[in-house]
Amino acid sequence: MTVTAAVVGASGYAGVELFRLLVGHPEVKLVGAYDIRNVGKRVSEVHPNLRGIVDLKIAEPDYVKIGKQTDVIFVATPHRVAMKFVPKLLKGKARIIDLSADYRFDDVKVYEQYYTKHESPGVKGVYGLPELYRAKIKRAHLVANPGCYPTAAILSVAPLVKRHLINIEHIVIDAKTGTSGAGAVPGELTHHPIIDANILAYAATTHRHAPEIDQELSKLAGRNVETHFTPHLIPIVRGILSTAHVFLRKPTGARGLLGLYRKFYAGEPFVRVLEELPQVNFVVGSNYCDIGFELDARSNRLVVVAAIDNLIKGASGQAIQDMNLMFGFDETRGLEAPALRP
């Protein structure tokens, strides 16, 4: 079976990454590239790495029409934009995977507090983290692909939270992202002379990925969890390293914790539980989330580190993993590439 796929939001980094991965997916026929920018240009003019590979022309979308004609549509437009047209897409047969935040929140009030007034609050998506919601994703018509930071942060502490092993008042998540997370539009903070030899914290207590992390950990815990999330920008292009500092409720050995993680993620094709701390170097270019930890038995602090490629497991790769689930393909199809390092 071959499914037809289209991308709305062809100009950005999530878009180019979707094209790059979809063109190598044996079960997919890429049939449309849509955007309101760069209309009439070829995908390969906007993204020259795809020269000779994806030469589709970018068109302005007729949402209802493409919703009717396409099997799966990836929405890679900015936050606040998807909600304007996803209901139109859903009128057709297309199953939708939205990479923005617009349908990630169970409670639309949380969305509205961090983003803007929601224009289609009645439409609900399934949170597209396969490790937590595999069964629901398979049946979903609308998948809300998780944010990059939440993917790493949630996976890093999910086993601990689910098993009530840690003090949920003091979950500190100190995350570091590469500059591709800021998107394709040049700005002050991603100007090379500014960031190349720099590091900075931003939105240190107010980042909009925090409520997304809290929503999912709260469901795992069965009670309200408020993590303490602080992101940093560092001078790498791809990759997130998410360092969780958590406190065990009672002394637990490293061996037991390793067993817990291995069991929790047993059979997961894209989570690798390591016996050492992960590095982004070994996941960039792949869909893997590597997780490792170090225990300070003296203070019962556990440092759990997760590494992902923010554009793959943190965005477009995870979207394709979701698509594989939705259409019954092997979950790893099109996502087999190992990390590209050095």
Task: Tell me how far apart the alpha carbons of residues 292 and 304 are, in angstroms, rounded to a whole number.
Answer: 6
Q: Which one-letter DSSP state was computed for residue 337?
A: P
Our answer to whether residue 289 is catalytic in this structure is: no
* Least distance CB 252 / a second copy (angstroms): 14
Instruction: Choose, from 89, 101, 137, 148, the residue flagged as catalytic.
Output: 148
Give 159's contacts (C-beta < 8 A, 6+ positions apart): 260, 261, 264, 265
* Least distance CB 112 / a second copy (angstroms): 17
Nearer to a second copy, 142 or 241 (CB): 241
188: how many CB neighbours lie within 10 A of its CB? Answer: 7
Nearer to a second copy, 94 or 273 (CB): 273
Give 283's contacts (C-beta < 8 A, 6+ positions apart): 239, 289, 290, 307, 308, 309, 313, 339
Nearer to a second copy, 124 or 228 (CB): 228
* Residue closest to 109 by CA, chosen among 124, 121, 126: 121
Task: Tell me how far apart the alpha carbons of residues 152 and 266 are, in angstroms, rounded to a whole number.
Answer: 17
* Least distance CB 89 / a second copy (angstroms): 27
* Least distance CB 64 / a second copy (angstroms): 32
Nearer to a second copy, 50 or 140 (CB): 50
Q: Which one-letter DSSP state was computed for residue 334?
A: T
Active site residues: 148
